[in-house]
Structure 1
Amino acid sequence: MSESAHPCLTCGACCASFRVDFSVHEMQEMGGTVPGGLAVEVTESTCRMRGTDHVPARCAALTGTVGEKAACGIYEWRPSPCREFEAGDHACNKARTRHGLPPLAEGLVF
């Protein structure tokens, strides 16, 4: 991996570790960006990315292999919890540990 490559492009651990819930208003049908086929309605106000409530979790939008080469298939249209997730924070490193990956430095900027 080159120094300028973002570590998330070889990771994907967060996408294979956590449940991803978000407002129904983020769905394309409601004027948002998340494609309808990739989420399920949980309540009248909440949706969840498919696959994130399975054991083991794996978001339906995740492509590739965790820890080798991974990417979000809907990166530009991903829901707010994914947009807010930060490489190197506690949750990131918790997910990386679950998948046998070393922690990242907190506060990475790319």
Structure 2
Amino acid sequence: MSCGACCAAFRVSFDRSELASEGGLVPDGLADYETSYTARLRGTDYAQPRCLALVGTIGQQVSCGIYRERPSPCREFGMLAEIGVFSEACNRARARHGLPPLEIAAE
């Protein structure tokens, strides 16, 4: 990947059932508990968030250290980008890092 802005712009909350200790895939060491039902990826709950699993330089070359184990919000966001469908959320994330907007698909 060459962007990675979404990994350093949003809080990533997900159902605790996605944690490895609960039978899911997300490594427990990369998550904090929010409630009895939800967890969030470490590093994403700050004024300037950056997921601890993000490796590299945003806008240049990045990768996800837990790509195969990433939680559902990351899978859903990434699925749209893989097929070239970019959202306003994507462009907000890009703007936070000084990257130009991408063309948003017509609805």
Q: Please indicate, yes or no, whether the TM-score normalized by the shorter chain is above 0.5.
A: yes
Matches within 5 A, 1:64-79: 64-79=56-71
Q: Count matched residues.
A: 99
- Extract unaligned runs of 5+ from structure 2: none
The C-alpha deviation readout for 1:55-79, integer Å capped at 9, x for no partner, is 2100011000111111111111100
Report the equivalent of 1:47: 39
| Inter-partner Cα distance in structure 1 for 2:90 and 2:69 | 20
Instruction: Work out whether 1:100 is the aligned partner of 2:98.
Output: yes
| AA partner of residue 100 (structure 2) | P
Regions of 4+ moved over 6 Å: none
Report the equivalent of 2:16: 24
Query: Secondary structure at 1:97's aligned position in 2?
Result: helix
Select the residue among 27, 30, 49 that pairs with 1:38. Answer: 30
Q: CA deviation at 1:90?
A: 1.2
Question: Percent of pairs identical after alignment?
Answer: 58
Provide the aligned C-alpha RMSD in A. 1.0
| Inter-partner Cα distance in structure 2 for 1:53 and 1:97 | 19
Report the TM-score when normalising by structure 2: 0.88
Query: Secondary structure at 2:11's aligned position in 1?
Result: coil
Report the equivalent of 1:6: none
| Inter-partner Cα distance in structure 2 for 1:26 and 1:101 | 31
Report the TM-score when normalising by structure 1: 0.86
